[in-house]
Amino acid sequence: MLTLTKKTTRPKPLRVLGLDLSLSPGIAAIEVRNRQPYLVACSSVATSTDDPDAVRNYIVETFVAQFVRLHRPFDHVVREDFTAGRNKRATQTIFSSWAAADRALYSYGYQAADLKPALAPTSVKRLVTGNGKAEKAEVAAAVRRLLRLGEDYVFKTGYDDSDACAVALAYLIREGLIDTEEVAA
């Protein structure tokens, strides 16, 4: 007599690309397995104010494209919303970096989700740290805790890479895709 056993399958890991866009952007790939987030990779690049915007945007585009090529596939691509610039020039540079990142994403068949509601900077901070006015070092500490990284894990100067992690984590928390209770203890 033949006995059949039911094959159990594990859910497919979920991979999120988080973007903190400016002319010195941060980017992060976070994978969720069994409702736990794991850092795949994160990075940032600083562009120089000595370069014209066209060069700085090219750097942003190639940086995003290289990261996407190395760490794809992604199930979700999320970016922090831009709420208001200090001035016209600040607004211009942010949206130019968005366009540069969009070109890179589109070349691999991705686009940043049009999140409703958008992930405003204060929302990202509140979801990750509990404080919508948290400083960058506090956000980095919360990212280390949520990703179970050691306190000795060093983010790059400026924390743009940890900010990108925070964007992805905020999305995962808001959508109920990861467990955070155990980590908070």
- pLDDT single digits (tens) 108-137: 999 999 988 899 999 999 999 999 999 999
Q: Are 21 and 30 in contact (CB under 8 A)?
A: no
Residue 115: CB atoms within 10 A of its CB come to 16
Whether residue 73 is predicted with pLDDT greater than 50 in this model: the reply is yes
Q: Are 40 and 21 in contact (CB under 8 A)?
A: no
Per-residue model confidence (pLDDT) at position 185: 45
User: What is the overall mean pLDDT for the chain?
Assistant: 92
Q: Are 24 and 45 in contact (CB under 8 A)?
A: yes
Q: Are 157 and 19 in contact (CB under 8 A)?
A: no
Mean pLDDT of 7-23: 88
Q: Between these two residues, 20 and 115, which has the higher pLDDT value?
A: 20
Q: Could you tell me the pTM of the whole model?
A: 0.91
Q: How far apart, in whole angstroms, are the C-alpha atoms of residue 67 and residue 101? A: 11
**Measured distance between the N- and C-terminal CA atoms of the chain, rounded to whole angstroms:** 51
Mean pLDDT of 172-180: 96
Q: Which of 39-43, 124-128, 181-185 is predicted least confidently? A: 181-185
